[in-house]
Chain A
Amino acid sequence: MSGANVPPVTSVAALYGIAHRIEADAAERYVMLADQMETHNNLELARMFRDLARAERLHADKIRDLAGSIGIGDGGGPIGPWKSDSPEAADLYAARYDMSPHDALRLALAAEERALAFYTDLAAAKVDRAVRDLAASFAVEEREHVALCHRLLERYPPASAVRPGDPDAPGDR
């Protein structure tokens, strides 16, 4: 996903902008997934994705507050700074109409892990000290989110497809 497409982060102001963008993109993606699940009548998952979107929006607001007068800029404009995709945005290709809460949490875990990798790499990069320190503090937060996903995964063990024997499964001909 984000992979080698990490945008250059040369200042604290740029990092606030990118950090805000990461959370906003994550929230937008969960809203998309919630809408998809609602359309396909998987209401439990729709609720779960809406909760995840709410959590990401709170993180975005927190970053805006932290940035204070430095501001968050435009986070790379309408297209965004990544060539491929924003690191914490859930992988849409992994979605299925009959996915279980466990599957959704796996999706969220992978997204949080990508964000953690992004900040960990940046904290170790040859950039300004202040940028590294801020990236390290964001990495601490992301590590907590990763741990939270692991705890939730224990609560929602793997389930087989939520609609076994669906007489009208999409792949059937």
Chain B
Amino acid sequence: MNAAEPLKCRPSDYKSEVKPIWCPGCGDYHVLMALTRAMAALGLPPERLAVVSGIGCSSRIPAYTNCYGFHGVHGRSLAVATGLKIARPDITVICASGDGDGYSIGGNHFLHACRRNVDLAYIVMDNHIYGMTKGQPSPTTEPDFDTALAPGGTGLRPFNPLVVALASGANFVARAYSGNPNETAELIVDAIKHPGFSFVEILSPCVTYRPDQRSWKDRVHPAPVTPTDDPARAARRLMTDDGFNLGVLYRGNRAPYKPPTAAAMLAPESLDEEFVV
């Protein structure tokens, strides 16, 4: 077989023996299904793939694949994924978070990962809630979402992750819905293949703390526009987006970050360059 030829793989080849402990009905089951289908479609052997996450229900996903995995520290998934990709550019790195992990405690890493444009795919399973810690509001929770933990709602304007990603320099911005696992798989494949930092926001319902999100299946719709590589155009679209447009919304052509080669890093004169004021 030609070395560059993709392997003939089945999604089950990427599932580990560990059984998910998510609540029955959780959208993350579909995300796992989409992710393993995407991996099989890419045809890469599991040892050429790494799934890195933070903490949260969604962040349990690496354990359920049999690729290299790292279930990290809350909010730090992108820091680990970036380091891994820089150290091992030959490995395809997929970073996974929830909306709490990625947009609250990990929000700063999100901005700088977009800006750095390292070649990795970032998938965020957004359920507009902290599922694992029993339903506190997250940055994407609606202002009037009323719970015992935030009576009357937070009253705060939700964060728009796609706009933030675009403004911070992400090279690929897409939205998926976990209830469409095949479309989600296609978007993950697209994100992985696209050079640079690719961000896929996956609407993934938390049926336990957000049973209202079961209605998302009737609210999502394909984005009525073709993807653009013009950030200004993409920004206009995203600013007026209803939050349920699915598909690739921005496909940029910025060159990904290239780390210096090991030889260049070891050369003493390169150290001098680092200290130039």
**B25 contact set on A, CB distance < 8 A:** 92-96
| Given A84-B180, A93-B27, A170-B208; A78-B40 close (CB under 8 Å) | yes
Could you show 8 A-B contacts with beta carbons less than 8 Å apart? A40-B23, A78-B11, A78-B40, A79-B185, A83-B180, A93-B207, A99-B24, A173-B148
**B208 contact set on A, CB distance < 8 A:** 170-171
Q: Is the interface of B mostly helix, strand, loop or mixed?
A: loop
Q: Which residues of chain B in 11-44 are interfacial with respect to chain A, using CB atoms and an 8 Å cutoff?
A: 11, 19-25, 27, 29-30, 33, 37-38, 40-41
In the complex, are the beta carbons of B182 and A33 less than 8 A apart? Answer: no
Q: Which residues of chain B in 182-197 are interfacial with respect to chain A, using CB atoms and an 8 Å cutoff?
A: 182-183, 185-186, 189
Query: Can you name the residue of chain B whose Cβ is closest to the Cβ of A29?
Result: B33
**A78 contact set on B, CB distance < 8 A:** 9-11, 37, 40-41, 185
Give which listed residue, A84, A93, A94, contacts B183 with CB less than 8 A.
A84
What is the bound-complex CA distance between A40 and B186, given in angstroms? Answer: 31
Give which listed residue, B24, B148, B217, contacts A40 with CB less than 8 A.
B24
Binary per-residue interface labels of chain B (204-233) against chain A in the complex, 1 for a CB within 8 Å, 0 otherwise? 010111010010010000000000000000
Chain B interface (Cβ within 8 Å of chain A)?
Answer: 9-11, 19-25, 27, 29-30, 33, 37-38, 40-41, 134-135, 148-149, 179-183, 185-186, 189, 205, 207-209, 211, 214, 217
In the complex, are the beta carbons of A93 and B214 less than 8 A apart? Answer: yes
**A77 contact set on B, CB distance < 8 A:** 41
**B21 contact set on A, CB distance < 8 A:** 39
Query: Can you name the residue of chain A whose Cβ is closest to the Cβ of B177?
Result: A84
In the complex, are the beta carbons of A84 and B179 less than 8 A apart? Answer: yes
Give which listed residue, A79, A82, A97, contacts B38 with CB less than 8 A.
A79
In the complex, are the beta carbons of A33 and B24 less than 8 A apart? Answer: yes
In the complex, are the beta carbons of B181 and A85 less than 8 A apart? Answer: yes
Give which listed residue, A80, A83, A84, A97, contacts B24 with CB less than 8 A.
A97
**B27 contact set on A, CB distance < 8 A:** 93
Chain A interface (Cβ within 8 Å of chain B)?
Answer: 32-33, 35-40, 77-80, 82-85, 92-97, 99, 170-171, 173
In the complex, are the beta carbons of A79 and B24 less than 8 A apart? Answer: no
Closest chain-A Cβ to B264's Cβ sits at a distance in Å of 39
Beyond the given pairs A33-B24, A84-B179, A95-B25, 18 more chain A to chain B contacts, judged by CB atoms under 8 angstroms and listed by A's residue number, are: A32-B33, A36-B20, A36-B22, A39-B21, A77-B41, A79-B37, A79-B186, A83-B182, A92-B25, A93-B214, A93-B217, A94-B25, A96-B25, A97-B24, A170-B23, A170-B208, A173-B134, A173-B135
| Given A39-B20, A93-B205; A82-B179 close (CB under 8 Å) | no
Closest chain-A Cβ to B86's Cβ sits at a distance in Å of 29
**B135 contact set on A, CB distance < 8 A:** 173
What is the bound-complex CA distance between A171 and B149, given in angstroms? Answer: 13
Closest chain-A Cβ to B238's Cβ sits at a distance in Å of 23
What is the bound-complex CA distance between A37 and B29, given in angstroms? Answer: 13
**A37 contact set on B, CB distance < 8 A:** 24
**A96 contact set on B, CB distance < 8 A:** 24-25, 207
